[in-house]
Structure 1
Amino acid sequence: MSNEESYLAILRYLTNEREPYAPGTEGNAKRKIRKAAACYVVRAGTLYYQRKLRDKEGFTELEVVLQPERRKGLIEAAHIGTGGEHLTRHQTWHVLSQTYWWRGILKHMKDYIKDCSKCQERTDRSRSTNDASEMLEELGLDVRSDTNETDDESSNPASNTYQTPKPARKKPTAKHELVFVDSKGIVKQSSSKHGQTILDQLNQQRLNNQFCDVTLLIEGQEFKAHKAVLAASSEYFRELFIEKGAVSSHEAFVDLSGFCKSSFLPLLEFAYTSELVFDFCSMAEISMLARHLFMNEVLEISMAQTPNSTAVSSLSDQSIMQVVNYVLSQQQGQKISEEEIETVEVEVGQISEVV
């Protein structure tokens, strides 16, 4: 269904109470039409899009233009000012977006200005940094260039003698208002908090059971999660979802009967928080499970905590658990037999030699 057909379907749904849908419309398409129609309203037979005002309550109604020729005429009228001058792309968008709307309106406006012969004559083919600076100044942003060019007048001592008085220094610009532009006019910004913010939001969605598309069954208890997060954190889950065809939009159900909840939940929390929190007695089980799930980041953390992890891993899990149980029983004041003490002393000696 094209954009024009979608708008016509929404218009019919809002105006025709007897037959809101065209004959032959499928159930899935009907649901999409009903959902999209919530953002539109009809005034005197004309369809309007209700756009929410930024930082304000309420909506502004924009006329939806369906005819291609009228769209082109509206862009041309917004691009040419009252005095016949051609406005910039930002100015043209400001005029056009106050009244009209259709899908792809921004791209259509950019393509029109790109093909405008008068605008092309005014624009240098090899766009310099100054051109980008002027465009950013139109947006009300301060600009700093990262080029290493020096001013000829400032580098010549003779010319400095007869310099005109310098203008008053401008007020320092706040850091968040600065825009750094390279020699090609490309602006590139990054946020160091973005990754952690995304993790926090995904974890909050998991806890609130929002947008979860996989259910994990462990020891008779269900845990909701997101396939994308599990697949990104574990090669085991990624291969599992691909093999079972769970990459589609339907919710998947994974039975993890062979997994231990006390060992798996810390790994699930790590996938969503990047923090690994577990009981010391479960370290060996968690490391083995992380190796089974191919969670390399968890294995790196485990190796960092145990310098001689390769040698320690050569000891049996039963030997390690005997030492742990012995230490715990000693702390709790429990008595153990002499045979158990001799066995534990041997195991402790082996671990001491390794460490």
Structure 2
Amino acid sequence: MATLELKNIRKSYGATQVIHGIDLDIPSGDFCVFVGPSGCGKSTLLRMIAGLEDITSGAVCIEGEVVNHISAAKRGLAMVFQSYALYPHMSVKANLSFGLENIGMPRAEIEERVMQAARMLQLDQYLTRKPGQLSGGQRQRVAIGRAVVREPKVFLFDEPLSNLDAELRVAMRGEIGDLHRRLGNTMIYVTHDQVEAMTMADKIAVLRDGKLEQYGPPLDLYNAPANRFVAGFIGSPKMNFLPGEFRSGQVHLKAGSAIDATAFAGAGDVELGVRANHLEITDVSDGALVCEVHSAEQLGGETYIYGALSDDTPITLHRPGQVPVRRGEKIGVRVDASVVHLFSMETGASLAT
């Protein structure tokens, strides 16, 4: 296990800066997930930690030691790629042992590490097979096993599940989580899928345009987002944002309702953020927002309703059970004021006190 610190990390390609001074402290044994939209810099940041990408300025520290000028092979890290990167002509066993053979490790120790990793990842019955004879999930386990046998200080995962189908992704998330609990190593995991981030991470680093937007435990980011971007990115379905004006402790929505906001500080144009499951369906009456239903997803145990308010603001409701609504129907919507968020229209920052 090892601590990992990023100190004012910057990356430029010529005059174009892509990573803008990121500071991050990842404690030993943590499972940290870098999440953000495509092009936000998360994979570039991971490759800089790994030593596969030069650092323009700042420092990467592993166990307190600056490793900027230490080669990737000597940093004590192991990386699992999206593409698996297995040798197709080698057996599973040969793939697992190849890296250890290259550094001259004794044969007996290689055998012990390979067999231990194979048992841990349930690959022991596939050791003589070639990668082409394995399923996607099995190939991914071989790629993870190749990292495990190195006994690294830190595991780095670069979108390792993006090539798998939905059902297999869920299963592999569980397997990687189990691996982390068994080994206790520090792990950094890159994904664009916020569901993966929420279900796997001890802490999440949300990135946008090469900047760190927020860092902390998943539920802290969900319950107390620092800004509109984090609020909209973390959580599924996406948070609803309703424009309005904040005055005298209330948000006067453009859609025609006033919501208590005495827990916030600010004034002027704002966006009120409310999650889909914090909206209730009621009669169309004074005080309720009016939503015209555009579509509904009936999933048996839950219903998602998509529509628009009177000012054309799109809105999503999530209700338990089976809610009978029709396209074009108008329904009343009440907001649970105790769980709303408020963001500055100008800066996007949270106005929570």
- TM > 0.5: no
Question: Per residue, is there more strand in 1 or in 2?
Answer: 2
Pair member with larger Rg: 1
TM bracket (short chain): under 0.3
When normalised by structure 1's length, the TM-score is 0.28
Say which structure, 1 or 2, has more relative contact order (CA 8 Å, 6+ apart). 2
When normalised by structure 2's length, the TM-score is 0.28
Question: Per residue, is there more helix in 1 or in 2?
Answer: 1
